[in-house]
Structures are given as C-alpha cells and as structure tokens.
A and B are shown apart, each in its own frame.
Chain A
C-alpha cells in the first residue's frame, strides 16, 4: 500500500484500533471531551451565559413566592431543577453547534472514532460544564435563600450526578439531532423538556428532602431507581442511535 513518507504510524493505527477497540474508544472520548472543555474554558461563551441565566432565575424566584422557610421546604428541589434544566440547555445548545463554524463535525466523523465514542466525549464535556453551573447555582441558592443544602452533601451530589447525566444525555443527543436545523436554539428546549420530565420529577423529589437537610426516606429513595433506570435506558439508546444521527 502506498502511504506518505511521514506516515509510518499508519499501519500501527489499524492494529491498535482493532486490538483495544473499547479502550481506544474511551481514550478518544476523553480527547473529545478535553477538546470541548478547553475550547469552552477559552471562550466561556456557554458557561458565562448559563451561570448568569441561573443567577437571574434564582433572583426572580424571590418575587414569585414568599421566600420563607416553610415555602422553601416544599419548593426547593423543584426550584433548583428548574434552574438546572433552563441553565443547562444553554450549555447543551452549544454542544454540537460548536462543531458547525468550520465544518469541524466532518473532521470528527471522518476520524477513525466510533460515533458512540464521539457522543460519549461530548456528553462528558457537557456533563462537567452543567454540573459546574449547578454547583455554583447551589451555592448562590444557599446564600440567597438561607438554605443549608450541604448537610446532606454526598447524597445530594449523587442525585445531582444522576439527574445531570440524564439531562446531558438527552440534551447531547438532541443537540446532535438538531444541529443542522434552522431554529435550532428554539427547538432544543421544546424537545428536551417533555422527554426529561420523568428524570426531572425524580430529581426534584429527591432534592427537596436532601436540600432541607433530611436524609432520604425509603418512599422517596425509590426515585433513585427511577433516575438510574432513566439514565441507563437513554444512554444505551443514544449510543445505539447516534451513528444514524451523525452519518446520514
């Protein structure tokens, strides 16, 4: 076979890919994720907008209801996840849109990386960004509304991780689905929120208890299963279908 003089690596490529397909795929996912995070940290276009949006919604809540302790006990989980979902969409909207300007998506799809690995990488980057926005929002929420959310920190973090993964998986695959569509930015929330309702509902139920410093009661803990189930089903479905989405 003919290859350029500089490309002694090329034959090795085939072997490496064949040998450790899964490991190679995971590594490539991490490269894609690192690329997205680096680009985002440089421009901060999504994360700044998302954070500012989160703070504005948190502020608006204070006018929507009387921010007393009783009210917050009931509402806090719901409020938080509304903030997370709204602010998260701003990050997710950018995810595949970021690949558009120079036809970068072509280069990614052309690379010897399975589409599922690309998807996983982009979802991972989104997950980190959305989770960061959520943690900052939580901090601001605690200060604004005098809520001691840190009393149940680890269980709360678990709920955040599971809920955010659901949000990012759906958001990332739909970001890929809508990447070439006019009105992309309007479309994504319309598609994402109805689909997310089960996950958001579960996360809201769980967070309300935890944010108020109570340990999870047994009847609420079943929502953890629901959240895990949602994440597993949609992660699997996305990994299977992403190739159909990206390669027409």
Chain B
C-alpha cells in the first residue's frame, strides 16, 4: 500500500516537474531586467518554502514524540529534517548562482543568505547529534529536545539578522512587487511539484528509518540470546 502511494506521488511529481520545466524554459519569456537567469527563482523560492515547512513539521513531530514516546514521530522528525536540509541546500546553491550572475559575487552576508546558512548549520547539528547517539530511545529523546531548541532559534535568527542588514531583493511573489500572472502560476505549480518531491523523499526515508530501527532491535535480540 505505502509502496503504491510512494510510486503514485513520485509519478505525479515527475509529470508536474516535466510540465513546469517545459513551461519555464520554452513558454515563459526572459525577464526584462535580469534576462535568462531569473528562471532560477522558480526553484529557489519553492525550495525555501518547502524547507521552512519541514522545520515546522519536524518541530511538531519532536514535541509529539516527547509527549507520546511513539517512535513514528521520531522517524518523521529525522526524515523531514534531512529532506528539508537538502532543500535548504538547494535554496542556498540556487541563490548563490543567481547572485554570481546578477551581483557578480557568489556570496554576500546579506540577511536572508546569512539566516538561511545559520538555519542550515543548526539542523545539520541536529543530524550530527543523532549520529553520535547509539541507543534509539535516548537518541530520539535527546534529538527531540535539540530540535525544539533549534526551532525556537529560527525566528530569533531571522529577525536579528534582518535588523543587522538587508540587501536581498524584496520577495517578488508576496512582497507587493508586480509580477506577470503566468510567472506566478508557474511558481505556484513548481512549489506543488517540489513539495510532492519532498513528500516522496520523506516517505522513502521514513521507511528506511523504520527498517533501521527494526534491524537495531533484532541485533539487540541476537545479543541478548548469546
């Protein structure tokens, strides 16, 4: 059953992505001031939104694990964080490529770039912490606590760095800027495609995580018998 859901979602994501790619490269015209490179935004922004959503889901799952001690929530937290981290990395990389073309530099210590990088490091810390703990129950508990701390830090990081400096272009889609409706609909459709992709990855990762836990418990049974 779950296998079928994964395949179905995967096919849907692939079809939608193909359709969006066609539209992005073949249909939509170049943007007036940026030219060709503006197209990266169709991936840049949805990746950031997906990663953000991942942080919310992971925090919720972590709290739920501490309340219920149900390992499924722990699996959700780690799967979503890993996938979210990959999407945030995609966001950072696409942003960097865009910056190289438009600003002429790969990186600048602008508010959004900096906060995205800090968040990336925070959640990378979460994965490293998990990696260092052997016993699944302790790992789930410790990681959940850390996740709550990290999640609380996200808004503080974003706001404090915003006070500090801003050079990033104001958000084009929801920041009140004017935008062609065709571009907007493509952006929304690509957000859906990337979220579908994220969902597929999370589901696959979730299954791995559950199998991993089963293997771990079988190994413990084996040691207990000897």
Contact = CB atoms under 8 A, between A and B. Distances in A.
A245 B142 contact: yes
B93 interface: no
B129 A178 contact: yes
A244 interface: yes
Given A178-B129, A187-B128, A187-B129, A198 B153 contact: yes
Given A178-B129, A201-B161, A202-B160, A195 B145 contact: no
Interface string A149-180: 00000000000000000000010011001101
Interface stretch (B132-140, B174-182, B184-192, B216-224): B132-140
A191 B125 contact: yes
Interface string A211-248: 00000000000110010011001100100010011001
Interface of A: 170, 173-174, 177-178, 180-183, 187, 190-191, 194-195, 197-198, 201-202, 205, 222-223, 226, 229-230, 233-234, 237, 241, 244-245, 248
Given A181-B129, A182-B132, A226-B160, 4 more contacts: A194-B153, A198-B156, A226-B163, A230-B156
B34 to A, nearest CB: 31
Interface of B: 66, 118, 121-122, 125, 128-129, 132-133, 137-138, 141-142, 145-146, 148-150, 152-153, 156-157, 160-161, 163-164
Given A230-B156, A248-B141, A194 B122 contact: yes
Q: Which of A197, A205, A234 has the most CB of B within 10 A?
A: A197
Nearest to A200: B160
B185 to A, nearest CB: 37
B118 A197 contact: yes
A74 to B, nearest CB: 15
Secondary structure call for the B interface: helix
Contacts of A197: 118, 157, 160
10 contacts: A170-B149, A181-B132, A190-B125, A190-B128, A191-B125, A195-B150, A197-B118, A198-B153, A237-B152, A245-B141
Contact of B133 (A181, A198, A234): A181
Nearest to B132: A181
Given A194-B118, A248-B137, A248-B138, A233 B156 contact: yes
A205 B161 CA distance: 12
B35 to A, nearest CB: 35
Contacts of B121: 194
A230 B141 CA distance: 24
Nearest to A242: B145
A201 B109 CA distance: 13
